[in-house]
Homo-oligomer: A and B are copies of this chain.
Amino acid sequence: MHKSFLMPIYSFEAGVKESSRLLGLKGAGLVRMTAMKLPVPQGFIITTEVCEKFFEAGLRLPDGLMNEVKMAIRELELQVGLKYGDPYNPLLVSVRSGSSISMPGVMATILNVGLNQETVAGLASQKKSKSFAWDCYRRFVHTLTQTVLDIDETVLLKICGEPKVQDVDGLQKIVQSLKDVWKIKTGKAFPEDPYRQLELSISAVLKSWSSRQATEYRKFSGIPPEMANGTAVIIMRMVFGNLGNTSMTGIAFTRSPESGEKKLYGEYLINRQGEELVSGRSIPSQIETLASEFPNVETRLRDITKTLEEQLKQPQQIEFTVEENDLYLLQTRPAEMSAIANVKASVDLCHEGLIDKTTALSRIDPAALEQMIYPSVEHEAHAKPIALGIGASPGSTSGIAVFDLMRAKEMAGKGEQIILVRDEVRPEDAYAFIYSAGVLTLRGGKTSHAIVVARGMGKPCVVGCSQIFRGLEGQNHSFRSQYVINEGQKITIDGTTGKVYLGEIKSTSTKITKELMELLQWANTEKNIEIRGNADTPDDAALAKRYGAEGIGLCRTETMFTEQDMGNTFKRMILTDDTNERKLMLLELNIRQKSVFRNILRQMQNLPVALRLLDAPLHEFLPREEDLISEIEGIMSRPDPDNQLGREKEQVLRRVRELKESNPMLGHRGVRVGISYPEIYESQINAICEAAAELKQNGIAVHPQILVPQVSMLQELKAIRGIFENVKKAVESKYKFGLNIEFGSMIEVVRSCLIADKISTCVDFISFGTNDLTQAVFSFSREDAESKFLAAYIDQNIISINPFQTIDEEGVGMLMKLATMQTRQTSKKVKIGICGEHGGDPASINFFSELGLDYISTSPRRIPIAILSAAQSSIKKRLPSTANSKT
């Protein structure tokens, strides 16, 4: 592991020769600004290499480092004309962290290093203010004590008292108290030697790389270990924003981080040092007032930001200090901006000729587009949720809590905005979603059938919120320690974060800006994989098309059976075990389905529309066993029982029991139902063929595709293909023209990946179902995994990503590779797509694009994210070195 040093110390004046990996982002920025002749206080950088050695040696600075530092300080003294540790004309420095990844605010910064009993007097005479000098000294001793000894700030404040800036006596007392704390804790006196101070400060900054906050920040931000190579340490001559009313400290953006508008944006604090702005303890002035109060500073700042953008080709966020009207830049870095701002700034920069389209596309984090697509709770940081569930369908909304399905309809009819609150939702509940602004469930996960429907409808959902109980009038809740929501109460839910709030909290609206539309146009030209939408209804299809879908990659035909009236017929169809009766029900359903198919196909015209045959487990559509039992008991306990009704209910109960499954995920569903009740698939296929024929007769060219779910064997597919060909032939001869309908298979069962070569002999296209595939590859039921153990797995570093969000390349991805290879070898004509939820995840899209799939299908609202991700993936392939998916 031990390497010899490349360069432990790097002066700001050494020129732009080394990467931010060695210098840290902050250091590299300072070197660049120095090279641009901008007013940067002089200084030097201890490179990230030293950090590595420091941890390898067990938190010890490498031998000889302090000698190098001394030499660098000597050079600094020459540049500045002050002397470090000199009692009369002391040089003071700041010691800051700066890693190659942006980790704002989580590591240590120590200011005013070099002050002691002697130099504090020198500083006082230098700056002509004893109170200023002692305040600086107090700050230094405070920070060093807090950082080195790892004492909580509030504890320290309690011991030493609140400082008063003008009270020299008081400040001296506080310094003494702090030094006493140091003595008690370490057994030694607080260091007076400025180089010992410097050494301790450097160590403290390096050590803060592995602090709890820093580690958690990296984990939370998903920064991979190989990118986190430690922090550099920046040592810079102190400039003072707290030297009276012509001094200040401030932060400025070259463009608005909220809107992206090109204007100076930021805030400043007069007569303060930088950390006070960061801490948020004082109320700063907005930068708009700078022009009137400090016109020279404002002009200078405006010039500087212009130069910075021209040189760095990216909106910047700078920290500055004004010491007695002289402006200094302490840091510049790419501006942290909202998605909307980032999109606008990138498109504008392109129009301004500073960057090209490729760069503009590469700068937007696709996932951040969610902010523009879904509404969210305004001022989220200040709102207090009462409970945290699982965010199951993004977006936030408010409404009156309603528990009952019928009441929901009734209240919605009166124009009330309601939120449906249920113990759990079942497919037959889904029709009530139409009347609801959002859905909150106390049990269940985000993959249940009804929730998939809600997601399709774009209704915000929070599920599995087990801390909440539903309160009903007159009920005794004395046992409940959890939160009770009463019917009629106003609540707000946020399906992105999973948070539930009491009362109404305003939501931000969606922001599909013209810049976003322009960016997506560029992305469309760049990407080399088709993006389609998942849509179960004509409305969804229209939305998908509006967002740029090049087809429908997945229409779940079972969702239309959750609608109330079709649902009842469907239920009766399942309940009967008489094939003829079933066929009669199917005839009824056929007519309704045909009309839905027709509307979706008409919406998409010539674009491909993949209609997936019934997949949900049958029992999901049936009444509950417990309910039936108590109904029957009720009937039988009457003095004059209705035997006829009882017998009917018993019949239903028997059928419900027959259909009950222990693992519905792996049960009687998909093509298995199509094999055991061929009339069901036959009826659906007929509805598709008839819909296509009717449209064609009216001169509308359409392109339906039939998609068979849950296939694990070639024979299954052949059986259904046989039905398809017969039905198609019959419809064609009825209408006397040919139909262009393709036949495809879902690849969502492990076995189908293993025999993809055989499957591809029997289809026109295949579509990976990565949700089910992930479940089967891990043997994880998603619902159970996410509610039970996946959090512990991520916590304990067993796994770094949730494989249901980002595709597991090692396992699931390997199977997909195998299947894709086999398919391509067998047939050049078979199109390969993917329609799992991973289709909306940028990292997964990159993988699918690299795999060479033909299309990705995702929920309508995620289409922009998918288009942008696909474009970035294409750029990455084309220009491996320049493109970065994150800014």
| B residues less than 8 Å from A776 (CB atoms) | 750, 776-777, 779
Among the listed B675, B785, B799, which residue makes an inter-chain contact with A715, where contact means beta carbons less than 8 Å apart?
B799
Q: Is the CB of A650 within 8 A of B479?
A: yes
* A side interface size, CB within 8 A: 67
A554 CB → nearest B CB, Å: 18
In the complex, A716→B798 CA distance in Å? 6
Are A750 and B772 in contact (CB-based, < 8 A)?
Answer: no
Picked from B626, B668, B751, the residue with its CB within 8 Å of the CB of A784 is: B668
When chains A and B are docked, how far (Å) is the Cα of A815 from the Cα of B808? 18
B662 touches A665 (CB 8 A): yes
Beta-carbon contact of B666 and A775 below 8 Å: yes
Say whether, besides A715-B799, A797-B715, A798-B675, A780 and B666 are in contact (CB < 8 Å): yes
Residues of chain A from 341 to 400 with CB closer than 8 A to chain B in the complex: none
CB-based contact A784/B749 at 8 Å: no
Bound-state CA distance A206–B93 (Å) is 105
Contacts of A815 in B (CB 8 A): 750, 754
Interface residues of A in 798-833 (CB under 8 A from B): 798-799, 808, 810-812, 814-815
Residues on B with C-beta less than 8 A from A662 are 444-445, 448, 664-665, 781, 783-784
The reply to whether the CB of A452 lies closer than 8 angstroms to some CB of chain B is no
Is A789 in contact with B672, judged by CB distance below 8 angstroms?
yes
A657 within 8 A of B: yes
| A466–B657 touching, CB < 8 Å | yes
Residue of B nearest to A671 (CB): B798
CA distance A234 to B675 in the complex (A): 42
Any B CB within 8 A of the CB of A796: yes
Q: A811 — which chain B residues lie within 8 A by C-beta?
A: 712, 750-751, 754-755
Q: For A737, list chain B residues within 8 Å (CB).
A: none
Q: How far is the CA of A789 from the CA of B669 in the complex (A)?
A: 10
On whether the beta carbons of B663 and A665 are closer than 8 Å, the reply is yes
A478 contacts the other chain (CB 8 A): yes
Q: Is A636 an interface residue (CB 8 A)?
A: yes
Partner of A636, one of B476, B668, B748, B793: B476
What are the residues of chain B within 8 A of A675 when measuring CB–CB?
Answer: 789, 792-793, 796, 798
Residue from B448, B647, B667 in contact with A479 in the complex, judged by beta carbons closer than 8 Å: B647
Q: Which of B646, B750, B792 contacts A676 (CB under 8 A)?
A: B792
Contact: A712 with B778, CB < 8 Å? yes
B777 with A750: CB separation less than 8 A: yes
Task: For chain A, residues 662 to 694, give those with C-beta under 8 angstroms from any C-beta of chain B.
Answer: 662-668, 672-673, 675-676
> Chain A 511-551 against B: per-residue CB contact (8 Å), 1 yes, 0 no?
00000000000000000000000000000000000000000
Q: Check if A760 is an interface residue, CB within 8 A of chain B.
A: no
Task: Provide the residues of chain B in CB contact with A676, threshold 8 Å.
Answer: 788-789, 792
Copies, count: 2
- The answer to whether A713 and B661 touch across the interface, beta carbons within 8 angstroms, is no
Contact of A443 with B by CB under 8 A: yes
Min Cβ gap A698→B in Å is 38
Q: Is A579 an interface residue (CB 8 A)?
A: no
Nearest residue (CB) in B for A751 is: B811
A845 to chain B, nearest CB (A): 22
Nearest chain B CB to A247's CB is how many angstroms away? 53
Residue in A445, A626, A775, A779 whose Cβ sees the most chain B Cβ within 10 Å: A779
Indicate which residue in B445, B647, B713, B793 contacts A799 across the interface (CB closer than 8 Å): B713
Measured CB to CB, the nearest residue on chain B to A710 is B779
Cβ–Cβ contact A719 & B779, under 8 A? no
**Which one, B778, B785, B796, B798, contacts A749 given CB within 8 A?**
B778
CA distance A815 to B776 in the complex (A): 13
A211 lies within 8 A of chain B by Cβ? no
* Cross-chain contact A814 with B754 (CB below 8 angstroms): yes
Interface presence of A658 (CB below 8 A): yes
Partner of A466, one of B658, B667, B668: B658
CB distance from A482 to the nearest CB of B (A): 9
A290 CB to closest chain B CB, in angstroms? 53
The listed residue with most B CB atoms (<10 A of its CB), out of A657, A749, A780, A797, is: A780
A643, CB-defined interface residue at 8 Å = yes
The reply to whether A781 and B750 form a contact with Cβ atoms under 8 Å apart is no
Among B672, B710, B810, contact of A755 (Cβ-Cβ < 8 Å): B810
- Closest residue to A626 on the B side, CB-wise? B626
- A743-757 Cβ-contact flags toward B at 8 Å (1 or 0): 000001111001100
Report the Cα distance A781→B662, complex, angstroms.
Answer: 8
* Alpha-carbon separation in the docked complex, A812 to B754 (Å): 9
Q: Which residues of B contact A798 (CB under 8 A)?
A: 675, 713, 715-716, 719
Kindly state the separation between the CA atoms of A676 and B788 in the bound complex, as whole angstroms: 9
Q: Which residue of B lies closest to A443 (CB)?
A: B657
Min Cβ gap A467→B in Å is: 11
List A residues 159-181 near B (Cβ within 8 Å): none
Q: How far is the CB of A574 from chain B (nearest CB, A)?
A: 13
Contacts of A444 in B (CB 8 A): 662
Is B712 a contact of A779 with CB atoms below 8 Å?
yes
Residue among A466, A636, A750, A780 with the highest chain B CB neighbour number at 10 A: A750
Contacts of A663 in B (CB 8 A): 663-666, 781, 783-784
Kindly name the residue among A445, A662, A716, A797 whose own CB sees the greatest number of chain B CB atoms within 10 A.
A662
- Which residue of chain B lies nearest to A811 when distances are taken between CB atoms in the complex? B751
List, in ascending order, chain B residues with CB within 8 A of A781's CB: 661-663, 665-667
**How distant is the Cα of A755 from the Cα of B811 in the complex, in angstroms?**
7
Digitize A140-167: 1 where CB-to-B-CB distance is under 8 Å, 0 elsewhere: 0000000000000000000000000000
How many whole Å from A445's CB to the nearest CB in chain B? 7
Report chain B residues within 8 Å CB of A772. 779
- Cβ 8 A contact of A667, one of B672, B748, B788: B788
Mark out the residues of chain A between 255 and 294 whose CB falls within 8 Å of any chain B CB in the assembled complex: none
Complex Cα spacing A785 to B814, Å: 27
Q: How far is the CA of A810 from the CA of B665 in the complex (A)?
A: 23
Within the complex, what minimum Cβ distance (angstroms) separates A448 from chain B? 8
Which of chain B's residues have a CB closer than 8 A to the CB of A780?
Answer: 666, 712
Closest CB pairs A-B (n = 8): A663-B781, A666-B781, A751-B811, A667-B784, A668-B788, A663-B665, A715-B798, A749-B779
A-B contact pairs, 24 of them (CB 8 A): A444-B662, A479-B643, A661-B788, A663-B665, A663-B783, A665-B665, A665-B779, A666-B775, A667-B785, A672-B789, A672-B793, A675-B789, A675-B792, A675-B796, A676-B789, A712-B779, A749-B778, A750-B776, A751-B777, A751-B808, A751-B812, A754-B810, A772-B779, A776-B777
Which residues of A approach B to under 8 Å, CB–CB? 443-445, 448, 466, 476, 478-480, 626, 636, 643, 646-647, 650, 657-659, 661-668, 672-673, 675-676, 710, 712-713, 715-716, 719, 748-751, 754-755, 772, 775-781, 783-785, 788-789, 792-793, 796-799, 808, 810-812, 814-815
Inter-chain pairs besides A667-B785, A751-B778, 4 sampled, C-beta below 8 Å: A476-B636, A479-B646, A664-B784, A750-B811
